Each structure stands twice: as structure tokens, then as C-alpha cells.
Amino acid sequence: MPKLRNPFRRAYTPNQIVALNVGRARALRGWTQEQAAEALAPYLGTKWSNASFSAVERSIRGTRVKQFSADELVALARGFDLPLGWFFLPPPPGEDAGLHAPDAGINGTDPRLLLDIVLGTDDNREPWHTALLDYAAQTARQHGTTRNATVDAKRIDADTTALAELRAAAELRHAFGDLTEARDVLLRFADLLAELDHKPHQATPAGRRRKPAT
């Protein structure tokens, strides 16, 4: 039986999502709050106290939510040595939490929207791809070399393709829970379709009319 959606589920703001993922990053690195503060200090320009760090991580549940600036997001990415997108990972599906947004209702919108924002979609990724290629070309001209532009262009093509594949993988994992399971299900569907396609169609003999359904 499918799990019923909680009509009163919690909706996290983007800042609360970042706070959640600061905790995830610290757990990933195996750092205490003191160690994390030390790692972040060179990039923040100041060292968070243990109380400040606790307040940041508690803001996922509390009423006082830390408002992260773009400068702090860049510092988090550098200090934890993680891509910026890490800090916008949606909450675990088991929480059944929504993403708070002004255009969403009281329960928030689907937090997978964050994947569209971070990884892009097939509809909006192309302008970014083009802008990155243009940036690589401008950088190469500034340094008087075209070799770097070629290398950068190949890297940009590979990276944007990887983002599209990562987005697709995230959708499959959300739908099936495990990519191996998704592959097995899709292979079974493919086998079933092939079997049905090769079965002879049963035609109604000429001159015989089908009986109307009763």
C-alpha cells in the first residue's frame, strides 16, 4: 500500500537546507565543530565559535534560521572541499519534507526542485553551457593561447553531460530507491515488450463477428 502523504509536513527554507547539509558535510569529514570551524576560518575570514556553529546546525529545527550569504556558501564549499551543490542536497526522502517557497503552499513544494536548480534541466542547461564555452574562449584569448580553450571546451562538454546524467540518475534513484533495482526493472520491461512484440496477433476469422460484450 503506498505511503500516504503527510498533510502537515514540514517545509524547509533554502537556508535551512544549507544548515542541514553543513551538518552532513561535517559528519562526512568526521570533524568536530571545533575542527570544522578551523577548516572554514581561512575562507570565512573569521572563526565560528562552537556556540555559533551549534546555532547554524540547530537552525534546521529552530525558529532562528541562519541566513547564509553567497560569500559564506563559497567559504563552505572551499572549507569542506565539496561542490557548492552539496549544500543544496534535498532532505532525506524519509522525512517527507517540502521546500518552502513563496509560490508554494503551506506544505512547500517538491524538494527535488533543488536538483533542477543545481544541476539544471534539459530546457535550461544550454545557455549555461554556451556561456561557459564563451568564458573559456575569452580566457584563452586573454592569455594568448588556443590550446587551453580547446582543453577547457572539452572539459565543459564533459562536465555538462555529466550533470545531465547525474540529474537522470537522481530521478531514477528517487523512483526506484536503487539504480541496480531500476536497471533490473527496466530490463524486465524490455524483455516483456520484446516477448509481446514477437507473439503472433490473434486475428478474428473472416466472416465471424465478435460477440458484443455483455
Mean pLDDT rounded to a whole number for the chain: 79
Mean pLDDT within 182-197: 65
CATH number assigned to the domain comprising residue 45: 1.10.260.40
Q: What's the structural domain count of the chain?
A: 2
pLDDT for 85? 92
**Which has the closest alpha carbon to 11: 109, 88, 116, 115?**
109
Inter-CA distances, 20 with 44, 47, 153, Å:
19, 20, 35
Q: Is residue 209 domain-resident?
A: no
State mean pLDDT over 129-140: 79
Q: What are phi and psi of 16, to 5 degrees?
A: -70, -35
Residue 139 resides in a domain: yes
Can you give the pLDDT at residue 3?
47
Residues 178 and 154 in one domain: yes
pLDDT at 28 exceeding the cut of 70 = yes
Asked if 84 and 175 sit in the same domain, the reply is no
pLDDT greater than 50 at residue 4: no
pLDDT at residue 137 in the model: 77
189 shares a domain with 133? yes
Task: Note down the domain range covering 174.
Answer: 120-198
pTM over 0.85? The answer is: no
**3 state DSSP class of 63:** coil
Q: Please report, for residues 30, 48, 60, 67, the alpha-carbon distance to residue 35 in angstroms, rounded to integers and kept in the order given.
A: 9, 10, 21, 22
Contact residues for 85 (Cβ-Cβ < 8 A; gap 6+): 118, 119
pLDDT, tens digit, for every residue of 153-187? 666 666 666 666 656 666 656 555 555 655 665 66
CA distance 23 to 60: 10
